[in-house]
A and B are shown apart, each in its own frame.
Chain A
């Protein structure tokens, strides 16, 4: 479905993305792990059409995407913050993509109502964004993207600002809705646990170079993901704590 080949980008002679190549099949969620400044945001923005690549090709269903403007790509980019429209209600925020496409009012009502119910946001439909919690805002942002049935969803650490409990709930919600709607997405995060929770495919981005993993085992085994070290840390804690508990 999505084929990225030899994508490169530099800012002021500083390489940000180096020869990135990846393929993504329909319905897959590619979770890309990487530290701050590794080029994650630039990669997503190039895919969304918000940045231009210096070299490389980008194809979706065989269509060359590079000359297509962002508003015609049907690829939604979600920021770390929900960035809701503060002057519109929850309902109107979700309906935005349909209104600009001049969809009929009855269809807008039906589709937005159904989606809000799915996101467990029906009772908040008339509220303004400032009346919502962080998790609820992120749900609305998610709904606003889903309503236009995007060909590709690009998520830039969308749950990074949420507390641990809300974050876990949102990861579950994202997984459920992704499967239900058969959404293809690239989800970048700096949290290995989040990558493993949401991703059906896994990658690691470091200094602009992307490594794709064939399996979860490979991903866990790669020292750069730090998962093996973390597992060993918890194992040590358990082994040292167990005798003390036994005593």
Chain B
């Protein structure tokens, strides 16, 4: 007779924490969005879903968030790729590798606050420009934070993401023996540019795809940076939802639940894609 194995509670507890509770929250948000649960619930109704078509706020916040996340991660990826592919010697010695770790230990809110101090119209750069006579007044300084295009938010995310991606690309560069592949391709007749375009960049991007997508998801759902460096309108999704949830008017709650449900469902879809990419990357790496 087989000995009965003691039930290990850690795995089920962890699964409950990372899958069970978020799914329960998602279910609660869905029920809240159809008026089944919540402080003023009056039974099933589809009115909040129907109102979605007339209320452009959520769609606009989603588009704005996609723009911010796409631009931030896109710029970070380009910067990191440029550094790893064009400045290998600098990355292997000198102070740069150490300096890349500095932003990683800084909390996002600190980076946002620092950029606010640096780039706002009453900030350091604006004052220096005014003192140097480059601008006529503090108001003449270009709007770099709390601006409509989200330049400040993007800058803060780039500052936090690009050093991390550079370190990741550099680790993949070494692990994939790209230096040797570079030598090999040159004897096959490829120029340095052809090596970067046809071998190095595709290889780095494929291997790093899961982490790049993870950075995109994290930026999409970021709260503290857009709260400090963003405008009341347009808002990023996280700020939009929290603002709705925290309103005194409890009748706004179902719409907030609906927004939360849609965003969480979208992010779950991205996470499923992430798992597929991570699996492919693991197989390719052997």
Contacts and interface: CB of A to CB of B under 8 A. Distances in A.
Interface of A: 48-50, 69-79, 83, 85-87, 96-97, 99-101, 128, 130, 144-145, 148, 154
B168 to A, nearest CB: 17
**A-B pairs with lowest CB-CB distance, top 9:** A70-B186, A77-B187, A71-B186, A97-B188, A100-B190, A76-B187, A100-B194, A48-B187, A50-B183
Contacts of B249: none
Given A87-B202, A87-B284, A100-B198, A73 B187 contact: yes
Nearest to B188: A97
Given A71-B189, A75-B187, A100-B194, A85 B203 contact: yes
Interface in B83-127: none
B177 interface: yes
A58 to B, nearest CB: 15
Given A86-B176, A100-B198, A74 B206 contact: no
Given A83-B177, A83-B180, A99-B198, A76 B186 contact: no
Contacts of A100: 185, 188-191, 194, 198
A50 B181 contact: no
Interface residues of B, number: 23
Contact of A70 (B176, B183, B198): B183
A212 to B, nearest CB: 24
A128 B284 contact: yes
B283 interface: yes
Interface in B232-286: 283-286
B128 interface: no
A75 B189 CA distance: 9
B171 interface: no
Contacts of B181: 83, 85
Interface string B160-195: 000000000000000011001101111111110010
A83 B185 CA distance: 10
17 contacts: A48-B187, A49-B186, A50-B183, A50-B186, A50-B187, A72-B189, A73-B187, A77-B183, A77-B187, A83-B181, A83-B184, A86-B285, A87-B199, A87-B202, A99-B198, A100-B190, A130-B286
A86 to B, nearest CB: 5
Nearest to A74: B189
Nearest to A82: B184
A87 B187 contact: no
A79 B180 contact: yes
Given A83-B177, A100-B198, A148 B189 contact: yes
Contact of A145 (B188, B190, B191): B188
B189 A87 contact: no
Given A73-B187, A77-B183, A154-B187, 13 more contacts: A48-B183, A70-B183, A71-B187, A78-B184, A85-B199, A87-B203, A100-B185, A100-B188, A100-B191, A128-B284, A130-B286, A148-B188, A148-B189
B187 A70 contact: yes
Contacts of B190: 71, 96, 100
A145 B187 CA distance: 9
Among B183, B206, B286, max chain A CB count under 10 A is at: B183
A79 B284 contact: no
Contact of A97 (B177, B189, B202): B189
A21 B180 CA distance: 27
Contacts of B176: 86
A101 B177 contact: no
Contact of A144 (B180, B188, B191, B198): B188
